[in-house]
């Protein structure tokens, strides 16, 4: 007979007959190591392409890449750094020098017990510096502390002249210090300016360098962020108005000569024999 009785399992449950052409397929399992290898290969290709595409200037022009040039340089190690800076990079397109008389046009600055103010001494020094440089055929701007011309100011160099406290601090509170903008666009030029001012001012005046009193007011001096980024700028505290008061007031021209000598050094126009203080 064509009709076949249903197959009965031991539990008496009927089972449907299996078609002859039905195929039993084995499930395909997931291979973990093949997938992991594929992901690694893709990541390697992407990383390689990114490395080839990334411009080197993103690293080489960063502040972190250039900072060792400043930190490793010896401020008094000679003119090796200067020899690597072309005149065009130092002077730019400008034949001008800016001199800021500290506190001038703003406030008195430090006031001594005898009534002498910092601003009057700063202005006297700055005026002599301006005249000396003008006599050498430089264009020189005498600027106030917050002069509107400082915004975007373009010059071969800008120097702001200040003096330190009238108060007695200790017997070591004598001498000068210099600061330039660490975030300057041209750090080698900024470092050269600091070295030239420090070296020549010390030679001419005989005053010691007082590094321990460099303050954030100097390193973050407002004019550094106001002038054109290509204008090298520095601030000099030319002496303490306590222990150095007599020298500053009686040898004011010598103080000015020291600043001028530092500027000329930076511009590669050094005087042959700077005047030495007694």
CATH number of the domain enclosing 208: 3.40.630.40
Q: Per the structure block, which two tokens stand in for 18?
A: 């299996």
Task: Taking residues 243-271, report their average pLDDT.
Answer: 95
Quick check: is 227 in a domain?
A: yes
Residue 114's domain spans which residues? 77-266
State whether the Cα torsion 266-227-55-60 is positive or negative. Answer: positive
Contact residues for 28 (Cβ-Cβ < 8 A; gap 6+):
none
Quick check: is 121 in a domain?
A: yes
Quick check: is 31 in a domain?
A: no
Among candidates 221, 228, 104, which has minimal Cα distance to 155?
A: 228
Quick check: is 190 in a domain?
A: yes
Q: Per the structure block, which two tokens stand in for 113?
A: 């017990």
Determine the 3-state secondary structure of 118 from DSSP: helix
Whether the model clears a pTM of 0.75, i.e. scores above it, the answer is no
Quick check: is 214 in a domain?
A: yes
Residue 50 pLDDT greater than 50, yes or no: no
Q: How far is CA 242 from the centre of its chain?
A: 32
Quick check: is 14 in a domain?
A: no
Q: How confident is the prediction for the chain on average, in pLDDT? A: 76
- Note the pLDDT tens digit of each residue in 130-159: 999 999 999 999 999 999 999 999 999 999
Beta strands in 139-253 (DSSP E): 139-143, 157-164, 177-180, 233-240
User: Is the model more confident about 111 or about 277?
Assistant: 111
Residue 23 pLDDT greater than 50, yes or no: no
DSSP state of 72: S
Quick check: is 7 in a domain?
A: no
Quick check: is 63 in a domain?
A: no
Residue 97 pLDDT greater than 90, yes or no: yes
The Cα 73–Cα 80 span in angstroms is: 10
Percentage, residues of the chain above pLDDT 90: 55
Question: How does residue 180 score in pLDDT terms, banded at 50, 70 and 90?
Answer: very high
Count: domains in the chain: 1
């Amino acid at each position: 007979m064509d009709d076949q009785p249903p197959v009965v399992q031991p539990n008496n449950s009927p089972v449907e007959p299996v078609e002859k052409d039905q195929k039993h397929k084995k499930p395909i399992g997931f291979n973990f190591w093949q997938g992991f290898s594929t992901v690694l290969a893709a990541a390697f290709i992407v990383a390689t392409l990114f490395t080839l595409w990334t411009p080197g200037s993103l690293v080489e022009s960063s502040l972190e890449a250039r900072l060792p040039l400043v930190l490793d340089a010896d401020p008094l190690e000679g003119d090796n750094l200067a020899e690597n800076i072309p005149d065009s990079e130092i002077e730019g397109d400008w034949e001008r020098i800016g001199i800021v008389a500290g506190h001038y046009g703003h406030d008195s600055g430090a006031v001594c017990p005898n009534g002498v103010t910092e601003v009057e001494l700063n202005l006297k020094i700055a005026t002599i510096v301006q005249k000396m440089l003008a006599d050498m055929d430089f264009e020189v701007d005498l600027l106030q502390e917050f002069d509107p011309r400082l915004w975007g100011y373009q010059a071969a160099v800008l120097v702001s002249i200040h003096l330190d406290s009238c108060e007695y601090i200790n017997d070591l509170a004598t001498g000068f210090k210099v600061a330039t903008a660490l975030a300057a666009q041209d750090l080698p030029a900024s470092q050269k300016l600091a070295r030239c001012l420090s070296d020549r001012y010390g030679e001419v005046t005989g005053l010691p360098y007082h590094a321990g009193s460099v303050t954030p007011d100097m390193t973050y001096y407002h004019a550094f962020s106001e002038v054109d980024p290509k204008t090298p700028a520095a601030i000099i505290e030319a002496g303490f108005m306590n222990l150095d008061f007599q020298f500053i007031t009686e040898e004011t021209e010598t103080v000015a000569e020291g600043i001028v000598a530092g500027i000329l050094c930076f511009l590669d126009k050094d005087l042959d024999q700077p005047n030495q203080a007694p």
